[in-house]
Structure 1
Amino acid sequence: MKRLGFLLLLFLTACTGSQEAPLPALLAAGGEDEVRFYRARDLQGGTATQVAAWPAPGLQDLAYAGTFRRLYLLFPDRVEAYDAAGFTEASVPKGTPLVQAFPGGVDCTGGYLRLGQNALLAHCPGAGRAFLWSLDGSGSLLEADLTGLDPAARLALLPQGSLDLLAYLTQEALGFRPAQDPQGTPSLERPLSPPLDQAPFDLRADAAKGRLLGLGSAGLKARLYTLQGEALGSQEVLGNFFGTPRLALDPVAGLAVYGRGFQVLEPKASPTLEAYTDFAAGAIGQDGYLYLASGSSLYVYDLVPSSPQRVATPSLGFAPKALAFLPVE
């Protein structure tokens, strides 16, 4: 019953944003060889209250799986999983992580993490390899079969039934297939017309709506591609974009694209905002706020108003390249 009440609180807060009492939560920010943890409610008020800082030399990315209460850190040679069940707004005990080392010779510099319903995907583009690890920390790494995929593809995990399917976005197509059986089923692929001008920017799976969200450039314009069911749709985003845009997604609270400036797409569409600011990392929290990092500044936006409203811009004291939102009890 306690967990049911907590999930209900998440849903209500995501629906009402700043109109509800602040959701107890932390924002994990990774970069410059460390991970720092801040109280989300203080960030919304303009103060960067640092709860803890962990040294993390070589950190590439981080991700948080709420159902399993685990924080995952990606390094060039390994993935670490930390039990977050004891995290509070005042304390972030580090504990001893579960560690999975990549096979010899695999360098995951420039890699990233994606969450499925039961598995974690670690994609190492420079090595042309990707690995799966059970979200409960059991078992060993399993290698995904990338046969036939462009080395520049972006990857994610799409939950379907009890499976975590390997989703992919290439310059030519958006689709999914079994992670270790490229010819297996269920699978689906839809061609992009016209194809992307360059390597794709980002790919996210929205399990709540059963859709894939891919970001790329076609006709020199940034476009969001949505594969839902068997239908592929697309829309232009960010206006005249620069750099390499990324997606921020929370299945209930919203969807945004950021890079040079940002644009909220859900729950209410906005024009491009902060058009001359470069954002390196972003996250949407279950609290209905969008968090965007630019250098050492964190831009905090309330997504509830008809146009996203900036509520604070605290300084974090360092420049993160990855953010994760962690509800705590």
Structure 2
Amino acid sequence: MKKLWPLVLLLAACTGSQEPSLPALVAAGSGEKVGFFRARDLQQGGAASPVATWSAPGLQDLAYAGAFQRLYLLFADRLEAYPTSGFTETSVPKNLLVVQALPADCTGGYLRLGQNRLLVHCPRAQKAFLLGLPDPGPPQEADLTGLDPALRLALLPQGGLDLLAYLTPAVLGFRPAQDPGATPRLEKPLDPPLQTPLDLRADGQGRLLGLGTTPTEVRFYALQGEGVSSRKVLGDFPGEARLALDPAVGLGVYGQGFQVLEPRDSGPQEVFTTFAAGLVGQDGYLYLAAGTLLSVYDLVPSPPQRVATSSLDFAPKALAFLPVQ
């Protein structure tokens, strides 16, 4: 993956740092609605007016599958799928394709995309479900046998399969989602162990990236091949934190402040600001929400340079980047 970074930086310099910017929308979801904002407007700052707003009471999470041009919205009792092929910078038609009921309470749940399936993790119910892409059918329950209930899940594409990846306080690993004893599978102990797993992502290049807290710090773990690396991130703030990732552009951590890890380590930034939602866009920008403010940072300089801050009329808890025509 490191061989890609010189090309990535060149591409980012042609979009993130220079005009014209990549035509795109940023979908920002709260517990009540989803607002769609032009990325270029957010890069200008000020009071941001959404292109469209969808009512979504009870929204838990959202995810965008670019390969299928689908936007997925997760609620406590259902999953909704919308086509995005008709989205533009000025129009966001709401054409519901699928409403799929969930067989468990998914309050506090989240979504993770694989190559062929979508994972819905419902921590409160201690259950996870797999749904086919692009248009989800009836959910199939993932087998969580033997896993600590305090865990984060993701899907790891490998050899045409979407493996169940997991981060618990003690281990980081993966296995077939519905046959824990089958192969391929791998599990590695964490040193030091975690008090609370916070986030888990697959980067599209075979790595598993995990995040969690110990009693004194936030730690970042990377499983690549059969080796696990670990490091402290975000300074001396062992609170809530999440990963922001675009496989071809960059990787960051946000929570109490933020820190870009790839393509270049920025060290902790803005440590007195609590960020609740974030993403790395294909346009070479990092988008971070703190309350009703959404800030945009150019990833090309190191440390990243804040280019704008926009004021929204709600506080996002989930963001997605949608390139459009």
Normalising TM by the smaller chain, what interval? over 0.9
The corresponding residue for 2:3 is: none
CA contact (8 A) 2:298 2:307 kept: yes
Q: After superposition, give the CA deviation of every residue in 1:104-144 in whole Å (9 maximum; x if it has no partner).
A: xx110000001111111000000010011112115321111
Partner SS state of residue 201, structure 1:
strand
Q: Shift in Å at residue 253 of structure 1?
A: 1.1
Q: Which moved more, 1:16-25 or 1:305-314?
A: 16-25
Q: After superposition, give the CA deviation of every residue in 1:152-206 in whole Å (9 maximum; x if it has no partner).
A: 110000000100000000001000000111111000000012311x220111111
| Structure 2: distance between partners of 1:9 and 1:98 | 35
Residues 16 and 23 from structure 1, CA distance in 2 versus in 1: closer, same or farther, beyond 3 angstroms? closer
1:12 and 2:8 equivalent? no
The corresponding residue for 1:92 is: 92
Paired residues in the alignment total 318
CA contact (8 A) 2:255 2:276 kept: yes
- The within-5 A match list for 1:303-322 is 303-322=299-318
Q: Which moved more, 1:19-28 or 1:114-123?
A: 19-28
The corresponding residue for 2:185 is: 187
Q: Shift in Å at residue 219 of structure 1?
A: 5.5
Q: Shift in Å at residue 242 of structure 1?
A: 4.1
Q: Which moved more, 1:12-21 or 1:84-93?
A: 12-21
Query: Which of 226, 231, 237 is 2:227 aligned to?
Result: 231
Query: Which of 245, 254, 259 is 2:255 aligned to?
Result: 259
The corresponding residue for 1:35 is: 34
CA contact (8 A) 1:11 1:286 kept: no
| Structure 2: distance between partners of 1:233 and 1:166 | 20
Partner SS state of residue 12, structure 1:
helix
| Structure 1: distance between partners of 2:155 and 2:102 | 19
| Structure 1: distance between partners of 2:264 and 2:319 | 22
TM-score by length of 1: 0.93
1:205 and 2:202 equivalent? yes
The corresponding residue for 2:21 is: 22
The corresponding residue for 1:112 is: 110
| Structure 1: distance between partners of 2:251 and 2:321 | 14
Partner SS state of residue 323, structure 1:
strand
2:230 maps to a residue whose letter is: S
CA contact (8 A) 1:213 1:227 kept: yes
Query: Which of 244, 247, 270 is 1:248 aligned to?
Result: 244
Partner SS state of residue 165, structure 2:
strand
| Structure 1: distance between partners of 2:307 and 2:172 | 36
Q: Which runs of 5+ in 2 are unaligned?
A: 1-6
| Structure 2: distance between partners of 1:193 and 1:158 | 22
CA contact (8 A) 2:9 2:300 kept: no
| Structure 2: distance between partners of 1:11 and 1:28 | 26
CA contact (8 A) 2:109 2:122 kept: yes
2:20 maps to a residue whose letter is: A
User: Which stretches of structure 1, 4 residues or more, deviate above 6 A after TM superposition?
Assistant: 8-11
The corresponding residue for 1:76 is: 76
Residues 325 and 179 from structure 1, CA distance in 2 versus in 1: closer, same or farther, beyond 3 angstroms? same
Q: Which moved more, 1:272-281 or 1:238-247?
A: 238-247
CA contact (8 A) 1:44 1:300 kept: yes
The corresponding residue for 1:127 is: 125
